[in-house]
Structure 1
Amino acid sequence: MNEITPSETRDIILDVTEKMIYKNGIAATGMDLLVKTAGVSRKSVYRYFSTKDELVVAALERRDQRWMHWYRTEVGKAAGTAQRLLALFSVLKDWFESEGFRGCAFINTSGETGDPQDPVRQVAKQHKQKLLDYVTELCQEHGVQHPDELAAQLLILIDGAITVALVMGDHSAADNAQCMARKLLDL
């Protein structure tokens, strides 16, 4: 029988935490349920994370890295800068149509925290900043006149599409946002 390494145990805890908070939210993800679902002891959880907040932050940071890698990779498959800017939305549509789509984990968890300085809010802010930086990079590559301004507008379209897709169940929100992006880009 193969023993699970400490690194694998930590990964299991993070995987389960991420899935549970994405599906149910932070408040609904109790430590008892998390321990039971992960199949680890409470002691194991606290060996790696001193508090639930620390665990949630670590799970969100991990999600940020994975999500940004996925998004950049998928958008990067489009040929040409204009196509990549438009792919920001077609990639979202594929995500909206995927099983288990529950909106943006960072918007969702930010809504559970009232304090702008809360570590969860800070992770969400960092995620949105990385997304904005990526969109700005694409705007610069495309040679738009005011890349920072356009990127900020496109970020609003991205997050708006995600929110409408979740709340309204309308996957065409990505198409609508892409149509608006075409106008902003003069395409």
Structure 2
Amino acid sequence: MATDTLTEAAVPGTARERLLDAAEALIYAGGIHATGVDAIVKQSGTARKSFYTHFESKDALVAAALERRDERWMNWFIAGTQRRGKSARKRLLGMFEVLREWFASDDFHGCAFLNAAGEIASAEDPIRVVARKHKERLLDFVRIQCDEFAAESDMDARRAARLSRQWLLLLDGAIAVALVSGEAGAALDARSAAQTLLDAEAKPSASEPAASAGTVTGASPGKSTSACANRRPPSRRAAT
């Protein structure tokens, strides 16, 4: 995957680095509970004593590995998004093209943070905390792009904030579908939905006539809003 470059400050090749590498690879491929300390130590090529020298527990190792992955993954995703275009619209839609490249890679196993959060019950567990912070960072980046799109489209801040939350759902949804289906094209389906969302949020055309005050669009002339609002809707009991 394009995110394999290490960004940890420690010198690559140390026992701690090898333990982190092994933990991330094994847990991402097989899950937290299915991966034991012995397997991590064996793949890292370190002594079991080294594990306890650097980490107080397996969970501490997993949390540290996820923190490092968060930094690397975000750097990769941000850089890929920025290359997709100069306008916020192009960058927002380009996010799904970046994801598609990831989905098509041989070592794609879904979102490591969603996977980890699904295995940990407590919301306060350090592993869940790292997963939550990752999604917060991703949402923050998406919000920056949505704010810029809002400036391009004369959209207010409240709508931009809503759009950023909806965008995160589309990103995570694409990742989940790609994992389950094995189809990288899930990114393109999400992109299509995202484009529809952007079109709906864009500023209406200046030539579009506004609805007259006191009337409901599509209502017959002379009927007031209050009259339409007070009309009792037909019963839907037969449809349930």
Post-superposition Cα deviations, 1:103-133, rounded to whole Å, max 9, x if no partner, equal 0000111111111111111111100000000
In structure 2, what residue type is equivalent to 1:178? R
Alpha-carbon distance between aligned partners in 2 of 1:33 and 1:74, rounded to the nearest angstrom: 34
| 2:75 corresponds to | 69
In structure 2, what residue type is equivalent to 1:96? F
In structure 1, what residue type is equivalent to 2:104? E
1:45 Cα deviation from its structure 2 partner: 1.0
Alpha-carbon distance between aligned partners in 1 of 2:69 and 2:161, rounded to the nearest angstrom: 25
Of the candidates 143, 150, 154, which is equivalent to residue 163 of structure 2?
150
Range 138-147 or range 20-29, more displaced:
138-147
Instruction: Please report the TM-score for the alignment, with normalisation by the length of structure 2.
Output: 0.74
> Aligned residues: percent identity?
47
Alpha-carbon distance between aligned partners in 2 of 1:44 and 1:7, rounded to the nearest angstrom: 13
1:39 Cα deviation from its structure 2 partner: 0.4
| 1:125 corresponds to | 132
CA RMSD of aligned residues (A): 1.4
| 1:83 corresponds to | 90
More helix by share: 1
Shift in alpha-carbon separation, 1:181–1:51, aligned structure 2, 3 A = same
1:141 Cα deviation from its structure 2 partner: 1.4
| 2:28 corresponds to | 22
Instruction: Please report the TM-score for the alignment, with normalisation by the length of structure 1.
Output: 0.94
Count residues in correspondence.
183
1:6 Cα deviation from its structure 2 partner: 9.1
Point out where structure 1 has 5 or more consecutive residues left out of the alignment. none
| 2:62 corresponds to | 56
1:62 Cα deviation from its structure 2 partner: 0.4
| 2:230 corresponds to | none
Shift in alpha-carbon separation, 1:6–1:89, aligned structure 2, 3 A = closer
Poorly superposed stretches of 4+, deviation over 4 Å: none
Post-superposition Cα deviations, 1:119-164, rounded to whole Å, max 9, x if no partner, equal 1111111000000000000011122432210010010000000000
Say which one has the larger Rg: 2
Of the candidates 139, 143, 153, which is equivalent to residue 136 of structure 1?
143
Instruction: For residue 111 of structure 1, give the secondary structure of its aligned residue in structure 2.
Output: helix
Alpha-carbon distance between aligned partners in 2 of 1:68 and 1:39, rounded to the nearest angstrom: 28
Alpha-carbon distance between aligned partners in 1 of 2:12 and 2:172, rounded to the nearest angstrom: 37
Of the candidates 97, 100, 115, which is equivalent to residue 108 of structure 1?
115
Range 145-154 or range 155-164, more displaced:
145-154
1:7 Cα deviation from its structure 2 partner: 7.0
Larger relative contact order, structure 1 or 2 (CA cutoff 8 Å, min sep 6): 1
